[in-house]
Amino acid sequence: MYNIAIIAGDGIGQEVMNACEYLLDKLDLEFSFEYGEAGFDCFNKNGVTLPEETIKIAEKSDAVLFGASTSTPGQPSPIINLRKALNVYANIRPIKSYRGVNCLRDDINFVIVRENTEGLYSQIEYGDEEKMIAERVITRKASERISKVAFNLCEKRGQSKVTCVHKSNVLKKTDGVFKESFYNIAKQYPHIKTEDYYVDAMAMYLVTQPQNFDVIVSSNLFGDILSDESAGLVGGLGLAPSGNIGDHNGLFEPVHGSAPDIAGKHIANPCSMILSASMMLDYLGEWETANDIKNAVEKVIAECKIRTPDLGGDASTIDITKAIVKELI
């Protein structure tokens, strides 16, 4: 029996989470779900975007599933604070070409490893009406820790290269430490190739030669931007899952946000959420089921019959979920 914290959040977060729960209920595994609130609707109800109660539910769970939250003016981001509270310092975002999807190329298969606890997402901002300052915190400890995750993941995936992305020509001190930490850790993995690029050049290489990357490691903001760009190479945010992993907790969520433009229409693609649940099962040691879910999603997408509008079809969120479940059981 696994205790799973479910935090659906706002907008399509609710819709894709319903789909995900529907699928999990059909599996041959036992789950006990505990529900937590977070996000914009939660703020309107409770006056906070991330209640203490939600953090407690997440902390005591075996793993957390998070949908998406709409940002609340003047309030901290609930997902950034939840990642911090759980110290899930590594945000893992796999990107791959799916058969039958209009991808830039059909041989893309890399993963972005994004540092999750500091960088420009420290949310430390101050100043006055004339001048505002945001602190970009980079520590050697977090930089070495995230590099280690990247090299270990490269080994686990059986790939050969880790690419460090930074901007140390301008951010000489902060990204100087990030890059130096990367090469320090690289010494422990002499069998793995290394390279590093400035983030602006990398934004171009991701389009011109995405097939050449295996594992990409970067700081918080750069990793966030590059992962949406990368999702765009392989069919969009409807197929982009992610896991946030720490030493004691795992939190799994789609890369996308609450998509207010399509919320309530029941046409959101649930595959990012479902693939995130597959990553969760992998984390929990349920490798076979995790793999079955991945295969079922791939098969339904490849058949091109039942797809949500983001992939050119006219199926609803629940239509495609049922098709995936049918493949599974």
Residues in contact with Mg ion by the rule CB under 5 A: 224
The nearer residue to ligand NAI, 54 or 70, going by C-beta atoms, is 70
Q: Is 74 in the site for ligand NAI (CB under 6 A)?
A: no
Q: Is 238 in the site for ligand NAI (CB under 6 A)?
A: yes
Q: Which one of residues 174, 194, 218, 272 is an interface residue with ligand NAI (CB under 6 A)? A: 272
Q: Is 237 in the site for ligand NAI (CB under 6 A)?
A: yes
Q: Which one of residues 179, 256, 307, 322 is an interface residue with ligand NAI (CB under 6 A)? A: 256
The radius of gyration of the chain from alpha carbons, rounded to an integer in Å, stands at 19
Q: Which one of residues 68, 149, 279, 280 is an interface residue with ligand NAI (CB under 6 A)? A: 68
Q: Is 259 in the site for ligand NAI (CB under 6 A)?
A: yes
The nearer residue to ligand NAI, 74 or 190, going by C-beta atoms, is 74
The binder of 224, among ligand NAI, Mg ion, none, by C-beta within 5 to 8 A per type, is Mg ion
The nearer residue to ligand NAI, 196 or 253, going by C-beta atoms, is 253
Q: Contact region for ligand NAI (CB under 6 A) — 67-75, 153-161, 201-209, 321-329? A: 67-75
Number of residues that bind ligand NAI (CB under 6 A): 21
Q: Is 223 in the site for ligand NAI (CB under 6 A)?
A: no
CB of 95 to Mg ion, least distance (A): 13
Q: Per residue in 96-115, is it b (16+ CB within 10 Å) or e — as a string?
A: bbbebbebbeeebbbbbbbb
Q: Contact region for ligand NAI (CB under 6 A) — 66-74, 95-103, 165-173, 194-202? A: 66-74
Q: Is 310 in the site for ligand NAI (CB under 6 A)?
A: yes
The binder of 260, among ligand NAI, Mg ion, none, by C-beta within 5 to 8 A per type, is ligand NAI
The nearer residue to Mg ion, 36 or 254, going by C-beta atoms, is 254
Return the residues of window 14-53 that contact ligand NAI according to CB under 6 A.
16
Q: Can you give the three-state secondary structure of the chain, one letter per residue? A: CEEEEEEEECCHHHHHHHHHHHHHHCCCCCEEEEECCCCHHHHHHHCCCCCHHHHHHHHHCCEEEEEECCCCCCCCCHHHHHHHHCCCCEEEEEEECCCCCCCCCCCCEEEEEEECCCECCCCCEEECCCCEEECCECCHHHHHHHHHHHHHHHHHCCCCEEEEEECCCCCCCHHHHHHHHHHHHHCCCCCCEEEEEEHHHHHHHHHHCHHHCCEEEECHHHHHHHHHHHHHHCCCHHHCEEEEECCCCEEEEECCCCCCCCCCCCCCCCHHHHHHHHHHHHHCCCHHHHHHHHHHHHHHHHHCCCCCHHHCCCCCHHHHHHHHHHHHC
Positions in the binding site for ligand NAI (CB under 6 A): 12, 16, 68-71, 79, 237-238, 253, 256-262, 268-269, 272, 310
